[in-house]
Structure 1
Amino acid sequence: MPDNTKHDATLPIRVLIADDHQLLLDGIGSLLSSFPGVELVGQASDGHQVVEKFTALQPDITLMDLQMPGLSGIEAIAAIRATYPLARIIVLTTYKGDAQVLRAIAAGASGYMLKSSLRHELLTAIQNVHAGRRHFTPEVEAEMTRYASADVLSNRELEVLQLVAQGNSNRATGTLLSIKEETVKAHMSTILAKLGAKDRTHAVTIALRRGILDA
């Protein structure tokens, strides 16, 4: 893949968009057309398609939705970066939860923006990431700072919380995970402490808001 750090300033920044909503694809495409020095080179509507389009088009910047059919945005980012480690990808999403952001960064994203901020922030984000810098919407940065020192749930605690979120009792959760009900209760106590939650319902609410659990 070309080294974007040596991009010819006389050439437009080539952008690929991935989102499963055609209206949003059209809206972002229209917005990009108003930006000087930016060129829309392709669109994709699912995770597999964006990986294929990236390979074919070799864009400078990819704008990636998180919630897509086929491969999720996180999976698509990881797949692209595994083959093209210099790929520069900006997540566009409605989710500002810190856990989602950290997963995106771990997968290889260089930026994370809320869709509500596109009109006044997208060009700056594209320019920053293209120049080798990271870009995060201020609300996202605030969320990350707020939970920077928060304890991370273990894989088992995540499994317990996911089953509780689905409406399972402690006994049912234990049966599904082949562990004792008392062990489930112990895990729930730890989960409540780590999330700063008052009860099971509050824990699920916090986990959904932070992106620890998918809505």
Structure 2
Amino acid sequence: MSEDEKKKIRVMLVDDHFAVRVGMAASLKFEEDIDIIAEAGSGEDAVKLFAEHKPDVCVMDWRLPGISGVEAVQEIRKDHPDAKIIMLSVYEGEEDVFRAMEAGASAYVLKSADRPEVIEAIRTVLGGNKYLPPILAGRLADRMTRSELTSRERGVLDLIVAGNSNKEIAAKLGLAEITVKQHVSSVLDKLNVQDRTQAATAAIQRGIVHLE
């Protein structure tokens, strides 16, 4: 291996759309010290290929067939705790950023980002640092100040967003209606909103619930 090859940043790309991977690879190859050493189209393949190639940096899409990008990050970091993974996503809600960083991602970059920003993220995480665009860093800071929703509260919130009444939620979750009311009250308090409509809006805007 030549000295030039040794100095190159070995990058793995993960996206389920072939055209996206081709475009990203072509863009990154403008950087002389970046080498695309592997590509994956699913979370499962990403876990396998990371173990095989051990890239310096992995750029991973959030939305993948099978396990999600966040789940793939968690799986990779079980065996490779020092893995440097950049989460690439169309989601810009604070909950999305929080979940990715909590899973072990080193950076979170929007898919709308230009090439210089992606390059900056790669070089930043390679140096052992975290990378977040300023607007997302601010949202993450806001998210860190609020209490975590429990899994039950998340389930209730999902059904609120879907337009269910307390009675309907109680029937679907097998709970007493008074218990549902208590969960709804807790959800409103944790989201710092006044009513169910505001809760549904906040859940979507913050990335707690995704409307596919």
Q: Same fold (TM over 0.5)?
A: yes
TM-score by length of 1: 0.90
* Counterpart position of 2:150: 154
Q: Which residue pairs with 1:125 in the alignment?
A: 121
**Conservation of the 8 A alpha-carbon contact between 1:98 and 1:140:** yes
Return the offset for 1:10: 4.9
Pairing partner for 2:110 from 108, 114, 118 = 114
Q: Is the 8 A contact 2:40 2:46 kept in 1?
A: yes
Q: 8 Å contact 1:18–1:63 — kept in the other structure?
A: yes
Cα distance in 2 for partners of 1:73, 1:10 equals 28
Matches within 5 A, 1:159-198: 159-198=155-194
* Aligned residue identity for 1:181: E
Aligned partner of 1:67 in structure 2 is 63
**Residue segments in structure 1 that go unaligned for 5+ positions in a row:** 1-7
- Report if the CA contact (8 A) 1:117-1:137 is conserved: no
State the shift of 1:151 in Å: 2.5
Point out where structure 2 has 5 or more consecutive residues left out of the alignment.
none
User: Is the contact between residue 149 and residue 187 of structure 2 (CA under 8 Å) also seen in structure 1?
Assistant: yes
3-state DSSP of counterpart to 2:114: helix
Runs of 4+ in 1 over 4 A off after TM superposition: none
Q: How far apart are the structure 2 equivalents of 1:153 and 1:112? A: 22
Residues paired across the two proteins, number: 208
- Kept in 2, the 8 Å contact 1:129–1:135? The answer is yes
Aligned equivalents of 2:122, 2:57: Cα separation in 1: 7
Letter of the structure 2 residue corresponding to residue 98 of structure 1:
E
Q: Is the 8 A contact 1:11 1:37 kept in 2?
A: yes
Q: Does 1:83 align with 2:45?
A: no
Within 1, Cα distance between the matches of 2:43 and 2:114?
Answer: 21
- Deviation of the 1:25 alpha carbon: 1.2
CA distance in 1 between counterparts of 2:62 and 2:143 reads 21
Residue 33 of structure 1 corresponds to 29
CA RMSD in angstroms comes to 1.7
